[in-house]
Amino acid sequence: MKNLIITTATAITFVFIMGCSVNSKVTSTETVQNLNENFKVPQDVKNVLDNSCLQCHGADGKFKAKLKFNFENMAEMDNTKLISKLSKIDDVVSEGSMPPKKYVKKNPSHALTKADKKIITDWASSLAEEIIKR
Ligand code: HEC
């Protein structure tokens, strides 16, 4: 009798574990589907972001900056969120509020040139438009 209980308990545990792993498989495909295939970053854009933005908004960035805009998360955003972030990027770069003036004063080599600004704003606005059209 005791053996039967142990066997049954083991069987139940086994089924439970299998069930969990099936579940986690489902979750991981969902995550893959959420990965935004529309998020494309050409090399010239990457270079500018690397030089002027990712010190604060990248993986090793500053907490407050990452809270508002974490570049590493962009590929995982749904289209609505991605469009909204792209348009914010377009805004802050067009109006010249990013990178922050104080930072640029201390680190002039990280300032955006006119050409850099155009690369970022062209990319952000055209990518947002492209996603909207789909
Ligand atoms: C020195 C650090 C630093 C650098 C460099 C920097 N940012 Fe920021 N950024 C911040 C901080 C801090 C905030 C949050 C500001 C706030 O909450 O008032 C922010 C906010 C933002 C936001 C969110 C605005 C909003 O209202 O949601 C965007 C978009 C952004 N930055 C884009 C950029 C881009 C693009 C670059 C490069 C061209 C850049 N940032 C460079 C520190 C930085």
Q: Is 71 exposed, middle or buried (0-12, 13-18, 19+ CB in 10 A)?
A: buried
pLDDT in tens, 49-73: 999 999 999 888 888 888 888 888 8
pTM higher than 0.95 = no
Answer whether residue 25 shows pLDDT above 50.
no
Q: Is 82 in the pocket of ligand 1 (CB under 6 A)?
A: no
Domain ranges of the chain: 1-34, 43-133
Q: Is 48 in the pocket of ligand 1 (CB under 6 A)?
A: no
Better-predicted residue by pLDDT, 112 or 35: 112
Residues 6+ apart with CB under 8 A from 87: 124, 125, 128
